[in-house]
Amino acid sequence: MSFIENNLRDVENRIERACIRSGRSRNDVTLIVVSKTKPVSMIEEVIGLGPRDFGENKPQELRDKYEVLPKDLRWHMIGNLQRNKVKYVVGRAVMIHSVNSEKLAEEIDKESEKHGLIMPCLVEVNMAHEETKQGIAPEEAAEFIRKISLLNNIRIEGLMTVAPYVADPELNRSCFRALRNLAVDIAAENIDNTNMRHLSMGMTGDFEVAIEEGATMIRVGTGILGERNYSI
């Protein structure tokens, strides 16, 4: 069995067990394989093993991979997105997980209108108020969503967070739980053009805890494809 196949089986088993522990259906959790920095050949190997959802954090890299790989893959934009690069993503990605400013939301809206589509988006929330991280402060999320919900060509479908890097995944449980509670509160407002169907949370180090706390999308890179080499 190859390195990737072995990793993927292990991750799949752990997803399944976390679903069972928390009384959830495996179908309610989408595994997004984070392929940033990794070559197309690796993605092709993953496709052969089943997954169809891939995450990228650089717009041009998403575009380039989209162009050469089968068109039935689902690409997720998970990284910070600059306004001038929105054009590479709209029309290719199925979801933008990292909406973190009004200006960005407006640009996605404008580009989506050009393409005649409505872009599914998640609002990125900086749950731990980390200065080094992007994202809307949790206490400002509802107001932010009320504003951007007025845009016609985006649809808010939930929240995303990048939890702190921790050695013990249990330390992120309260962060994941707080994101879910925030989504519940926002859902109760019944904001037009908005639903809180998705919680994108959990990475290689903590995806099982995230599933137990209600993640509908987990983003796993290293745990499947191995360490990234940023120097190449």
Ligand X SMILES: *Cc1c(COP(=O)(O)O)cnc(C)c1O
Query: Which chain residues interact with ligand X by CB under 6 A?
Result: 34, 36, 57, 78-79, 162, 203-205, 219-223
d(CA 161, CA 139): 14
Closest listed residue to residue 170, CA positions, set 123, 129, 205, 143: 205
Q: Which long-range contacts (CB under 8 A, 24 or more apart) does 11-14 make?
A: 11/207, 11/220, 11/223, 11/224, 14/207, 14/208
- Nearer Cβ to ligand X (36/63): 36
- Least distance from C-beta 110 to ligand X, angstroms? 24
- Nearer Cβ to ligand X (34/105): 34
- Least distance from C-beta 207 to ligand X, angstroms? 8
- Least distance from C-beta 113 to ligand X, angstroms? 26
Q: Which long-range contacts (CB under 8 A, 24 or more apart) does 52-55 make?
A: 53/217, 55/97, 55/219, 55/221
- Nearer Cβ to ligand X (90/210): 210
- Least distance from C-beta 188 to ligand X, angstroms? 27
- Residue 227 CB contacts under 8 Å (≥ 6 apart), including other chains: none
- Nearer Cβ to ligand X (73/96): 96
- Least distance from C-beta 103 to ligand X, angstroms? 20
Contact (CB, 8 A) for 122 and 159: yes
Q: Which residue has its beta carbon closest to ligand X?
A: 221
- Nearer Cβ to ligand X (191/223): 223
- Nearer Cβ to ligand X (128/191): 128
Contact (CB, 8 A) for 35 and 226: no
SS3 for 214?
coil
Classify residue 53 as left (phi > 0), alpha (psi -120 to 50) or beta: beta
- Least distance from C-beta 116 to ligand X, angstroms? 28
Closest listed residue to residue 194, CA positions, set 160, 140, 161, 157: 157
